[in-house]
Amino acid sequence: MDLRKLKTLLTLMRKYDLVEMELEEEGEKVRLRKGGPLLDEPAPRAARTVSASAAPAEGAAAPPAKPAEKEKPALLEITAPIVGTFYRSPKPGDPPFCEEGTRVQKGATVCIVEAMKVMNEIKSEFEGVVEEILVENGAAVEYGQVLIRLRP
């Protein structure tokens, strides 16, 4: 991907106040994330990850990796598949689908994202214990935003 296209994508992110953007074109994949850390794992050769707030200059050396103090199991993330409104329960007054500390089975509904008056049930792709619920009930969510983190 050439520098002009990358600058255009960054301009679009700023103009529309996007937090994250991913584009796949002609075998190249680019993910831009505003204000977030770069991924710790190396990206495959065809895929590149660039942080919009800290894009390194060409030829700049990457910062040395910090040794992990203690190996913690990575948390699994459930993300919003669409832009919409986040709801923790099926309807007002009902108990939430899950709480922090709740064990969730693969395929279980963990929340709802409403988009264009359609209630979309978000099901867990993983089995684990809810570690964090990152979104308030009734809050707007973006595509790809992390909603819930699970401990495997």
Taking the alpha carbons at both ends of the chain, their separation in whole angstroms is 36
Strands annotated E in the chain: 20-25, 28-33, 47-51, 76-79, 84-87, 103-104, 109-115, 118-123, 128-133, 140-141, 146-151
Out of 5-19, 72-86, 137-151, give the one with best mean pLDDT: 137-151
Give, in order, the Cα–Cα distances in Å from 113 to each of 23, 70, 94: 23, 35, 16
pTM of the full structure: 0.53
Phi, psi of 97 (to 5 degrees): -60, -40
Question: What is the C-alpha to C-alpha distance for residues 33 and 37, in angstroms, rounded to an integer?
Answer: 8
Task: Look at 20-29, 36-45, 107-116, 140-149 and tell me which has the smallest mean pLDDT.
Answer: 36-45
* Span 43-93, pLDDT tens digits: 444 444 444 444 444 444 555 555 555 556 689 999 999 999 999 999 999
CATH architecture of 76-151: Beta Barrel (2.40)
User: CB of 122 within 8 A of CB of 134?
Assistant: no
Domain boundaries along the sequence of the chain: 3-51, 76-151
